[in-house]
């Protein structure tokens, strides 16, 4: 959804209600669990958030609050949406004077313990999204060296005509999102410690 004004809460509620009945807009649902499919752009970014259990627990809490979208120019509506399979959110970006609202649904939640404790989730695009694909957000605590990491993996293709025509600019925005998301998670965790 492209608008000249920030969408109202009621617009967003209606938008999400409409999107909740749709299937994902790409065929490889769950692809961020394994090898990305051919023909998709792959962006993989990581940043160390610190060390130890406290850092890991704060990083998990930051993911649950959707802090990785607390960017100023991008945010998620509503950040209190629980991290559970099938939860649907609107991701709103303010770019070139336009408000771009994209619909995403959580595909899976991942929580594992072992040599590397992992917590996170992936969401996939719905028909009302300018791209098609999936994005995974993980925090990991590696017990071998006590390091805690935020790991961001995205696979995407342009779907909307504007995304296809403006492909180089869309790739630029994706890189900006990754950079800003890494910073947002580092900031959220460091402020909590």
The CATH number of residue 50's host domain is 3.30.530.20
Segment 70-92 shows an average pLDDT of: 95
- Over 90: is that where the pLDDT of 193 sits? no
Signed CA dihedral, 5, 8, 10, 12: sign only: positive
SS3 27: coil
| Confidence band for 4, pLDDT divided at 50, 70 and 90 | confident
Whole domain around residue 182: which residue ranges? 2-29+37-192
The helix/strand/coil state of 111 is: strand
Residue 57: is its pLDDT beyond 90? Answer: yes
Mean pLDDT of all residues belonging to the chain: 96
Q: How high is the pLDDT of residue 147? A: 98
The mean-pLDDT minimum among 17-21, 74-78, 119-123, 162-166 falls in 162-166
Q: How many residues does the chain have?
A: 193
Residue 103 phi/psi, 5-degree rounding, is -105, 135
pTM here is 0.95
For 134, counting Cβ atoms within 10 Å of its Cβ (0-12 exposed, 13-18 middle, 19+ buried), the class is buried
The structural domain count of the chain equals: 1
């Amino acid at each position: 959804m492209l608008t000249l004004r920030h969408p109202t809460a009621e617009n967003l509620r209606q938008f999400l209600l409409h999107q909740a009945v749709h299937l994902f807009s790409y065929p490889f649902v769950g692809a961020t669990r394994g090898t990305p499919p051919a023909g998709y752009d792959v962006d993989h970014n990581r940043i160390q958030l610190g060390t130890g259990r406290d850092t890991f627990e704060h990083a998990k809490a930051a993911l649950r609050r959707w802090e990785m979208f607390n960017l100023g120019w991008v945010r998620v509506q509503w950040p209190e949406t629980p991290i559970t399979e099938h939860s649907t959110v609107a991701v709103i970006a303010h770019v070139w004077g336009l408000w771009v609202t994209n619909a995403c649904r959580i595909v899976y939640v991942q929580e594992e313990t072992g040599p590397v404790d992992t917590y996170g989730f992936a969401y996939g695009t719905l028909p009302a999204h300018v791209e098609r694909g999936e994005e995974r957000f993980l925090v990991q605590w590696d017990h071998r060296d006590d390091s805690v990491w935020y790991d961001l993996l995205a696979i995407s293709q342009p779907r909307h005509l504007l995304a296809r025509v403006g492909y180089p600019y869309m790739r630029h925005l994706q890189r900006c999102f990754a950079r800003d998301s890494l910073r947002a998670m580092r900031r959220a965790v460091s402020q909590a410690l």
